[in-house]
A and B are shown apart, each in its own frame.
Chain A
């Protein structure tokens, strides 16, 4: 039995004439500690799948189990990080990080201590008294990451968390989230439509296609440690994924890994 089991997932939305299939019999299993990227063009159902696994949305058919338990609602053990960060603008950075700890009935002193620890981890300890609006996008996303990690979840769900950031900040955060999550043994389901991002982060890249939303293939990324975006192995995998999306001219040499 795998840690996360998505079995025959179907999700339909009402359409003009016929219902629209955002997910069409999707099957996927994820092991504990794996970093999985969902990769695909806009509208292929990545967010729909993530929302269902995170418990925000229900399937029409099929089932999703985490550690054997059917998913019916979001849980403090499975935290989602959103593209627009989802920070509460009326709270300071530190109070945002404490948000989840408050529901755990933890005394204030302990909350502060934990918030401090995770703000340090993401390099924002000096900004604890600021409000989110006073921070750059990259810093805001770091706060959201600290807030998610603070409740010590088993799983992190991320829906294009870095999409709104500039390329250099994005690469920096990719490296950070990758090392943090591996050190802390989190299981990650990460949505992106950036091919390089998926190769930097994932153990396996799940390639999805739209109309209806399906899994096309799964590409294993066997690169150890911190990934060099310019290494031949990296480019090799990149090439392979391009081929999967049929974004390469047909007459080029094919590579398989």
Chain B
């Protein structure tokens, strides 16, 4: 109950500040519409079905980019976490690529994939990929050696080591990585759609 009051209060505060800004600033309505105008526009988009279609295409694009990214990242992360000699060579590369903002890849993305559907997908893919990859590699490396000793002692071999020991041991850390990546990828969805997509939440309607 209290929580609802907090949320309503926050919404009210936001609306008042917004309206005050519009009244005091006196900017062009087209650049900074008032809350009422925005609500009307929102209704229009909703009535046209454009908004629903946009949400749908954004969501499916997001799902495709995110899922393909995390599946690949988890699979690669499991392999690279297990074979640390390989990871030793790839780790520096990952560390260099990781801090690059997904948006900074844009010129290359447009070069390789053109404009349209692909840039948004690829940006979501990149945004989700590194957090999940690094979380998975770290999780595999941090598996307590005693679990692996117990597995050896009790005659557990691959692929049972993967299913009985590695996957359950790394699951909590990967779940955290997935959660983080979900937030990051969503932020870049709209940005990605501004590059030539013909639909979606980032595609401007006038």
- Beta-carbon contact of A151 and B168 below 8 Å: no
- Beta-carbon contact of A80 and B155 below 8 Å: no
Alpha-carbon separation in the docked complex, A80 to B150 (Å): 8
Residues on the B chain within 8 Å of A76, using CB: 153-155
**Is A210 part of the binding interface, using a Cβ–Cβ cutoff of 8 Å?**
no
**Is B165 part of the binding interface, using a Cβ–Cβ cutoff of 8 Å?**
yes
**Is B146 part of the binding interface, using a Cβ–Cβ cutoff of 8 Å?**
yes
Not counting A82-B150, A88-B165, a sample of 15 additional A-B residue pairs whose C-beta atoms are within 8 angstroms of each other reads A56-B149, A74-B152, A76-B153, A76-B154, A76-B155, A78-B153, A79-B153, A80-B149, A82-B146, A82-B149, A84-B146, A86-B149, A88-B150, A90-B169, A99-B154
Interface size on B, residues (CB 8 A): 15
A82 nearest in chain B by CB position:
B146
Q: Knowing A82-B146, A84-B146, say if A90 contacts B168 (CB, 8 Å).
A: yes
**Is A169 part of the binding interface, using a Cβ–Cβ cutoff of 8 Å?**
no
Cross-chain pair count, CB within 8 angstroms: 50
CB distance from A128 to the nearest CB of B (A): 19
Option from B150, B152, B168, B169 in Cβ contact (under 8 Å) with A99:
B150
Alpha-carbon separation in the docked complex, A100 to B165 (Å): 13
Interface size on A, residues (CB 8 A): 21
CB distance from A138 to the nearest CB of B (A): 18
- Beta-carbon contact of B156 and A86 below 8 Å: no
> Which residues in A have some Cβ–Cβ distance to B below 8 Å?
54, 56, 73-76, 78-80, 82, 84, 86, 88, 90-91, 99-100, 102-104, 151
List residues of B (149-183) whose CB comes within 8 Å of A's CBs: 149-150, 152-156, 160, 164-165, 168-169, 171
**Is B42 part of the binding interface, using a Cβ–Cβ cutoff of 8 Å?**
no
Residues on the B chain within 8 Å of A74, using CB: 149, 152-153
**Is B83 part of the binding interface, using a Cβ–Cβ cutoff of 8 Å?**
no
Alpha-carbon separation in the docked complex, A90 to B150 (Å): 14
Alpha-carbon separation in the docked complex, A76 to B153 (Å): 6
Residues on the B chain within 8 Å of A99, using CB: 150, 154, 156, 164
**Is B147 part of the binding interface, using a Cβ–Cβ cutoff of 8 Å?**
yes
A79 nearest in chain B by CB position:
B153
Alpha-carbon separation in the docked complex, A73 to B156 (Å): 13
- Beta-carbon contact of B146 and A86 below 8 Å: yes
List residues of B (114-171) whose CB comes within 8 Å of A's CBs: 146-147, 149-150, 152-156, 160, 164-165, 168-169, 171
Residues on the A chain within 8 Å of B154, using CB: 76, 79, 99-100, 102-103, 151
